[in-house]
């Protein structure tokens, strides 16, 4: 087991990347703190982990609220004694997110509060816990759109994920000598509920897929394997990276035949 005796906190842990990562890291020996606002689904993930012999707890938290972020870390340390791995994964892609003219201030603020302030608060309270544990790994979920403009306009989401990259780089540099590694996971287009709700027509799906050299959407389970690498000692000399897991989309200049 790659993560035996490790404790991992995963925000947005009730679905998509968060759910698959919770299940995989538990399989690899980690004790899991599943964090979400969807209590029913979050508790179902915990139950699934326990059914296979793993250890996990569920914590309700709105990651955009400081008290909730502070409490989720406190619950991890209270239940399992420490925190070694922090996956700041919770995020939204609002259906009314569009270009600068059409996106409302409310949608922009909501997206930033969850997608970037949530990462900030996770790190604000998570880093002291990692310091107490003697080091660890932080993975912040960004996106390939942090590197490329989106074919379907989603300005608030794209800007927020660019901010995740910048924040991750600075945190990596600031805490490298403390044994804390910080990397940004940049998924390509995934077959998750989050994206499929946004790409809600076949035309929108094809506008995205036409740019992916591998010709398909990625799967959340594939992202979980990337998180496992970044969370484990296999990546012990890896920090400050923009870890692209995108089916080749950021490498493509023209659409393949």
Spans of all domains in the chain? 7-244
Q: What is the mean pLDDT of the chain?
A: 94
What pLDDT is attached to residue 110? 98
Least confident of 136-140, 194-198, 202-206, 227-231: 194-198
Average pLDDT rounded to a whole number, residues 188-196: 81
- The CATH code for residues 7-244 is 3.40.50.720
Asked whether the predicted pLDDT for residue 255 surpasses 60, the reply is no
pLDDT value of residue 253: 74
Hey, what long-range contacts does 70-74 have (CB within 8 A, 24 or more apart)? 70/121, 70/125, 72/9, 72/11, 72/33, 72/35, 72/125, 73/9, 73/125, 73/126, 73/129, 74/125
- State mean pLDDT over 116-138: 98
| Residues recognised as catalytic | 157
Of 15-19, 122-126, 143-147, 248-252, the least confident: 248-252
For the chain, the C-alpha Rg in angstroms (whole number) is 17
Q: Tens of pLDDT along 97-121?
A: 999 999 999 999 999 999 999 999 9
More confident: 201 or 248: 248
């Amino acid at each position: 087991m790659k993560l035996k005796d490790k404790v991992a906190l995963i925000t947005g842990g009730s679905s998509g990347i968060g759910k698959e990562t919770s299940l995989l890291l538990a399989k690899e020996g980690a004790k899991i703190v599943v964090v979400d606002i969807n209590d029913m689904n979050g508790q179902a993930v915990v139950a699934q982990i326990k059914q296979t012999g793993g250890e996990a707890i569920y914590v309700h938290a709105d990651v955009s609220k400081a008290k909730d972020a502070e409490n989720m870390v406190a619950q991890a340390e209270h239940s399992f004694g420490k925190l070694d791995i922090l996956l700041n994964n919770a995020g939204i892609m609002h259906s009314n997110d569009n270009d600068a003219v059409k996106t409302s201030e409310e949608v922009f603020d909501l997206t930033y509060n969850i997608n970037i302030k949530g990462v900030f608060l996770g790190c604000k309270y998570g880093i002291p816990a990692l310091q107490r544990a003697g080091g660890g790994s932080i993975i912040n979920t960004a996106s390939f759109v942090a590197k490329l403009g989106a074919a379907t306009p989603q300005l608030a989401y794209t800007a927020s994920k660019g901010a995740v990259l910048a924040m991750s780089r600075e945190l990596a540099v600031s805490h490298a000598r403390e044994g804390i590694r910080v990397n940004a996971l940049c998924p390509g287009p995934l077959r998750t509920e989050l994206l499929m709700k946004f790409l809600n027509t076949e035309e929108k799906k094809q506008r995205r897929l036409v740019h992916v050299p591998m010709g398909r959407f990625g799967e959340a389970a594939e992202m979980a394997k990337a998180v496992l690498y970044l969370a484990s000692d296999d990546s012990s000399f890896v920090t400050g990276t923009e870890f692209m897991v995108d089916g080749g989309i950021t490498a493509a200049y023209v659409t393949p035949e």
